[in-house]
Amino acid sequence: MSRINHFLDSLDAQDFAAIEPRLERVSLRRDDVLNQTGTPVTHVYMPVDCILSVVVVMRDGAQIESRTIGRESAYGLLHALGSRIAYETMLVQVAGDAWRMPAAELQAAAAKSPALTRAIVQHAQATSVQSARAAACNALHPAEKRLCRWLLMTQDRLDADLVPLTQEHLSIMLGVQRTTVTGIASQLQARGAIRYSRGRIRILDRGSLESCACECYGAIQEAARRILED
């Protein structure tokens, strides 16, 4: 069975065999809402080639992304071990496939395996690092640097130069107006870093994006590596 998800790939043969019968491969469409704030998290999603966006929604409807999750981890890992209530909204940012299993089934398997429990906690910690860093990044770093960080992380997850995005998603991710997104993308395009058209960005010069991105890209990558190698 080809898993192509780093959380699943990290499991030993015995732990994977315990959950394999409950895994279901699903195709997710862009903008699918998989969980909303205040609703129960019934399933854990482990991306293969999709990207999930975890969004905080304010009372006035304003939104900002707290983290994205790709094949390096999963959504709902800690919900499987603790409270099932979602405190954020989770939607599909980039369409693709994911493995899905009931949170209760993962909890039952983890109760029998300290190694599986440790893998769940470690991958959840690695994702939490991104949330903590994003909070500081959103407050301290300009939108252009944050967009470059996000594009690099997205390319890492997709192994592709073409990133299918909408202005709406970019504005949520950056916490800015769509006109600001257009201006930033135009500047990056003028420098030859990307080619931007409606609904998609093609990365032309990764080195240029790396030079532009804030320190948070490297910090998130390094922290996740250290947690998962511990």
Q: Which residues contact 224 (CB under 8 A, 6 or more apart)?
A: 72, 126, 129, 130
pLDDT for position 1: 46
- Tokens found for residue 82: 């603790």
DSSP-assigned letters across all residues of 94-141 = E-EEEEEEEHHHHHHHHHT-HHHHHHHHHHHHHHHHHHHHHHHHHHHS
Domain boundaries 142-213, corresponding CATH code:
1.10.10.10
pLDDT for position 2: 53
Chunked in runs of 10, what are the mean pLDDT values of the chain (230 residues)? 82 96 96 93 96 89 86 94 92 94 97 96 89 84 91 89 84 84 91 87 94 91 84
Does 6-138 match 142-213 in CATH topology? no
This model's pTM is above 0.95: no
Domain boundaries 6-138, corresponding CATH code:
2.60.120.10
> What residue spans define the domains of the chain?
6-138, 142-213
Q: Which of 127, 214, 222 has its CA nearest to residue 174?
A: 214
